[in-house]
Amino acid sequence: MTVRSKAALAVALGTLVPGAFALSGTAYSSPEHPSAARYTARGELIFPADYREWVFLTSGVNMNYSDEAMGMDHDMVDNVFVDPQSWRAFKQTGKWPDGTVLVKEPRMGAHTGSINKSGTFQTEQRFSLEVHVKDSRRFKGGWAFFVHRGEQPASAIPGTAACYSCHGSHGAVDTTFVQFYPTAKPIAVKAGTFDAAK
Ligand code: HEC
């Protein structure tokens, strides 16, 4: 290769690389990119920046999964979202397809503000974003959990963590808590994928 063609190649690569990044960040609605999940070269999950435009499944207020009181001095509201493409598949089959990304967004609740007299509303203060991704080729057991602090990429939580055991023992559809998602539950019940014993 001549010096000049090497330089041309370097220029071409220089323009290609940013292009590739732009693609990986936006392309999940196209058929070649079936998953909403995007990873860094080190296998960390990239923060799903547009999850707020996905399909809303539920909000929970002060949910507590243990017998002990949480002793929280504030209200906690969480919102659950799923990527639109996987929701379309779920509506037809009652199953989450490979590539599914579910997000739980915990937010600080508040009581006093503006005209509010009672009850809890949500504030701009978001806590770490929790993500549950299905990809049978990528993860042992089919699913992995991630927790994003801020908007940094997150590495997969090890399989020994309580996330996996609680979701595995109590999630009514394939390790997910569809029993608490009012529009998803009847679809799974009808499709026969819902485990009512959980
Ligand atoms: C003791 C049980 C328990 C543990 C431990 C637990 N979760 Fe969950 N998780 C739940 C319940 C219950 C819901 C339903 C929340 C709702 O209805 O708002 C849920 C919902 C979720 C969702 C929404 C999608 C889904 O799978 O239904 C994500 C994402 C999630 N949890 C992530 C995590 C992560 C990450 C961890 C570990 C750091 C974790 N969870 C640990 C009980 C648990």
Per-residue pLDDT tens digits for 42-101 = 999 999 999 999 999 999 999 998 877 767 788 999 999 999 999 999 999 999 999 999
First and final C-alpha spacing in the chain: 64
The CB of 130 under 6 Å from ligand 1? The reply is yes
The minimum-distance atom of ligand 1 relative to the CA of 132 is 29
Distance CA 134, CA 103 (A): 12
> Does residue 145 register a pLDDT over 70?
yes
Per-residue pLDDT reduced to its tens digit, 117-128: 999 999 999 999
Please report the pLDDT score of residue 6 as a whole number: 45
Let me know the angle formed at the C-alpha of 34 by 30 and 36, rounded to the nearest 5 degrees: 95
What integer best gives the mean pLDDT of the chain? 87
The CB of 161 under 6 Å from ligand 1? The reply is yes
Please report the pLDDT score of residue 30 as a whole number: 45
The minimum-distance atom of ligand 1 relative to the CA of 80 is 23
The CB of 22 under 6 Å from ligand 1? The reply is no
The minimum-distance atom of ligand 1 relative to the CA of 166 is 2
The CB of 70 under 6 Å from ligand 1? The reply is no
Q: Whose CA is nearest to atom 20 of ligand 1?
A: 177
> Does residue 32 register a pLDDT over 60?
no
Please report the pLDDT score of residue 112 as a whole number: 94
Percent of the chain whose pLDDT exceeds 70: 82
